[in-house]
Amino acid sequence: MDIDQFDFNRDTNSLHLSQVSIGNLFDRFLINEDKTTNISELLIEQSNKETASDTNPMDLIIGGILVKDSSMDFSDMSLPLPFATHIIKKLTIRMQRACLLG
């Protein structure tokens, strides 16, 4: 993983990253019969409780994400005829900007 440049501002509690480049990844994306995904198993459910007033969530701004030379398996078991494929080409994905504001 490469990050060209980053800037952390303690006063505003923010982190700005330039482009993040990641290479040679492998991903397996599965849609189950009940239409849930294997990715949803990785997510943590957030509670609806209010955060304490002394907390200051961080803003994260990413100038771009580049995934290159990667491959993936994709399966959809929710279809009437289940489908699966392996993408062996050198997969490249580019996302221009991402913001996660606290």
Residue 54 has pLDDT above 60, yes or no: no
How many folded domains does the chain comprise? 1
HEC-encoded secondary structure of the chain: CEECCEEEECCCCEEEEEEEEEECCEEEEEECCCCCECCHHHCCCCCCCCCCCCCCCCEEEEEEEEEEEEEEEEEECCCCCCEEEEEEEEEEEEECCEEECC
Give residue 72's domain range: 2-39+58-100
Q: Tell me if 88 is assigned to some domain.
A: yes
Question: pLDDT tens-digit profile of 93-102?
Answer: 788 877 777 6
Q: Tell me if 28 is assigned to some domain.
A: yes
Q: Tell me if 95 is assigned to some domain.
A: yes
Question: pLDDT tens-digit profile of 24-36?
Answer: 888 899 999 999 9
Q: Tell me if 47 is assigned to some domain.
A: no
Q: Tell me if 63 is assigned to some domain.
A: yes
Determine the pLDDT at residue 40: 87
